[in-house]
Amino acid sequence: EVQLVETGGGLVQPGKSLKLTCATSGFTFSNAWMHWVRQSPEKQLEWVAQIKAKSNNYATYYAESVKGRFTISRDDSKSSVYLQMNSLKEEDTAIYYCTWGVWFAYWGQGTLVTVSS
């Protein structure tokens, strides 16, 4: 059974940092292109970042809204993907999901990030 479990969300002040973790099981993680997708309080879904597999040199891509502030990374030995979020803004408030593939057949339950003073 495919499982993705996101953790690390919480309440954080603007300008601060937070690191999200997505632990996975049930599929060949090392070959998977992993993504983070977020959903705002207004329910709008936004793709955030992607990291490809080792065979693709772990290439990374970012939405313009987070480029330079967020970093996606992975640890194939732990079947986990991470999202380091720096210089957080109130508009980063959202539920953050991890998923994989070209179309997103599997999603975690999400972790809520609230950026507020």
Backbone φ and ψ of 76, nearest 5°: -65, -30
Q: Which residues contact 76 (CB under 8 A, 6 or more apart)?
A: 29, 30, 54
Q: Which of 10, 15, 45, 116 binds other proteins (CB under 8 A)?
A: 45
Q: Which of 60, 84, 104, 114 binds other proteins (CB under 8 A)?
A: 104
Cβ nearer to other proteins, comparing 71 with 112: 112
Cβ nearer to other proteins, comparing 7 with 13: 7
Residues in the chain: 117
Rule CB under 8 A: say whether 92 interacts with other proteins: no
Distance CA 99, CA 105 (A): 8
Report how many residues bind other proteins under the rule CB under 8 A: 19
Cβ nearer to other proteins, comparing 3 with 17: 3
Distance CA 14, CA 103 (A): 32
Q: In 3D, which of 40, 25, 19, 16 has the Cα closest to residue 91?
A: 40
Give residues in contact with other proteins (CB under 8 A).
35, 37, 43-47, 50, 61, 64, 97, 102-105, 107-110
